[in-house]
Amino acid sequence: MGYRLVLSSLVCLIALGGCAAMRHACGGPAAYAPAAAYNAAAERNLAFSPFGRAEQGWAVYEPAIAREARTACPADSPGFARAVARWQGLARLVPHGGVDPATFSAMKADWQQRRPFVRLRAASVCPAPPAEADLVTLPAADSWRGAVVRLRPGAAAALEAMIAAARREVPAAGADPELLAAFSGFRGPDYDAARCVAEGNCDGIVRASCSAHRTGLAVDLALGAAPGFAVDSSADANRLWQTSTPAYRWLLANAGRFGFVNYAFEPWHWEWTGEGRR
C-alpha cells in the first residue's frame, strides 16, 4: 500500500466517514446511470411550474435539492441519483433517483413546512404585525447601501450573528461588505398596500394582502445579481446565478444553526423561526 493510498484513506475516513462512501460517492453504482441521465436532462429542460410560474429545469434549486438529499455529488451523477433515491424512499416515493415533478413537489412541501409563516397561512391566519416601537434597526454594517432595515430583536440578533459568521467563513463575504447585507426587513401592511397601488407591484395578491415581511421576522439578503439584474429579480437567470454563489450555498448549509429558513423561490428571502413557535 503506497503512501498516497494510506493518506487518502485517512482523509476520506475523516472527511466522509468511510472510504466506501468515497469510492461510490458520485460515480456509481451503475444501476443509477439511467436516473443520472434523466437528471442531467431534467436539470435544464424539465417543464414544470413549481411555484405557480412556468420554469424550465430545476438547476436553480439544485443546491437545495442536493442538501436535502445529503449529497455533494453533481446533479448528473449516479451518486446524486442514489442520494435522491434514498430521500425518495424516506419520503415514501418510488426510489428511482430522478428529480421529477412529484419528487420536487414533495421536497418543496418540506421546505415550505419549515416556515412558520407558511404554516399560519395554510391555517388561513395572517399574523398581526408587531408594534413598530418593538422593532430594532440593523446596524449600517449589516444593511445594504444605506437601507433602513427593521426586524424584531430576536431576529436581528440572530441575523447579525449569522452575517458575522458568514463573513468569517465565506471569503467572498469577508471581502465584500455588501454581500449578505440586508436590503429589506419589516414592511408594514400599509407600505405593501401602497406599493401595490402605486407600482402595480402586488406580487399576485400575496404581498398586498399578507406578506411574510409584515412579521418582522423575514429579511432579504443581498447575494449579488447576474449582470443586468437587480438583487431581488426573480428572473430565472438571476436566481440561477444567485444560487450558484458560495454565499447562498453557505446559507443553505448554515442558516439553520441561526434559526433561519429560506423561501426556495427567492434565494434572498430568509425567515427567522426562533420566535412565535407553536
Residues of the shown chain interacting with Zn ion in the complex, contacts defined by CB under 5 A: 220, 269
Residue 262: all three cell numbers together: 429560506
CB of 269 to Zn ion, least distance (A): 4
Q: Rounded to whole angstroms, how far apart are CA atoms 4 and 232? A: 47
- When the beta carbons of 85 and 182 are compared against Zn ion, the nearer one is 182
With CA atoms as reference, report the closest residue to 118 among 127, 105, 128.
127
Residue 42 contacts by C-beta under 8 Å, 6 or more apart in sequence?
Answer: 57, 58, 98, 99, 100
- When the beta carbons of 115 and 269 are compared against Zn ion, the nearer one is 269
CB of 182 to Zn ion, least distance (A): 10
Closest residue to Zn ion in the complex (CB): 269
Residue 211: all three cell numbers together: 406578506
CB-based contact 242:249 (threshold 8 Å): no
Residue 142: all three cell numbers together: 449589516
CB of 218 to Zn ion, least distance (A): 5
CB of 266 to Zn ion, least distance (A): 6
- When the beta carbons of 192 and 220 are compared against Zn ion, the nearer one is 220
Residue 32's Cβ-side half-sphere holds a number of Cα atoms within 13 Å equal to 26
- When the beta carbons of 81 and 180 are compared against Zn ion, the nearer one is 180
CB-based contact 203:265 (threshold 8 Å): no
| Percent helix / strand / coil, the chain, rounded to 5 | 55, 10, 35
CB of 119 to Zn ion, least distance (A): 17
- When the beta carbons of 97 and 185 are compared against Zn ion, the nearer one is 185
- When the beta carbons of 241 and 268 are compared against Zn ion, the nearer one is 268
CB environment 81-103: b (16+ within 10 A), e (fewer): bbbbbebbeeeebebbbbbbeeb
**End-to-end Cα spacing for the chain:** 57
CB of 270 to Zn ion, least distance (A): 8
